Amino acid sequence: MADELREVIGRFVRSVRTQAGTPSDAHGETLAYLERAGPVSIAVLADARGVKHQSMRLVTTRLEAEGLIELLPDPKDKRGYRIHVTQAGLRETATDRTARAQWIAKALAEALDEDERDILRQAVPVLKKLVDLAQG
């Protein structure tokens, strides 16, 4: 069951992202992480995303040029910076989330009957429990 669950959830997430036009990429994943975690250093961000400092620097340079993040002095390390999501960055992540939620809502309404939707309603808290365990 564990392997089937891993497989189907992975396929579901990829399918939703593709169908909603919000594919997973370094740009979107970095913004989403910053939105959840708050301002962090580039080293923390690189570590959290599992990439090299140099790679993260390239991503943040692009995001900063697009006005989606800003680098502000780190109050604890006068030589360092903390990366903050701008209002434009927050709008972009919200737009992507809305597109994915709308696609899921449409798919639920079109592909599933009421009994199947009830099964999913009951499964959501169970899946959340697993997610909370992983994050705890």
Structure tokens at 30: 């970095």
Domain that holds residue 44: 2-135
For every residue of 60-82, DSSP letters joined together read: HHHHHHTTSEEEEE-SS-TT-EE
User: Residue 58 pLDDT > 90, yes or no?
Assistant: yes
- In this predicted model, what pLDDT tens digit does every residue of 22-36 receive, in sequence order? 988 889 999 999 999
Which CATH number covers residue 117? 1.10.10.10
Return d(Cα 107, Cα 93) in angstroms, integer: 21
Query: How far is Cα 124 from Cα 136, in angstroms, rounded to an integer?
Result: 18
CA dist 113 and 123 (Å) reads 16
Instruction: Count the domains in the chain.
Output: 1
Could you tell me the pLDDT band of residue 136, with boundaries at 50, 70 and 90? low
Residue 40, beta-bridge partner list: 83
Taking alpha carbons only, the member of 22, 24, 12, 19 closest to residue 103 is 19
Q: How far apart are CA 60 and CA 45, in angstroms?
A: 10
Q: Tens digit of pLDDT for each residue in 86-100?
A: 999 999 999 999 999
Task: Collapse the DSSP code of 40 into the 3-class scheme (helix H, G, I; strand E, B; otherwise coil) and give the result.
Answer: strand
64-80 pLDDT, tens digit each: 999 999 999 988 888 88
pLDDT of residue 20: 94
Q: Please report which confidence band the pLDDT of residue 135 belongs to, taking 50, 70 and 90 as the band edges.
A: confident
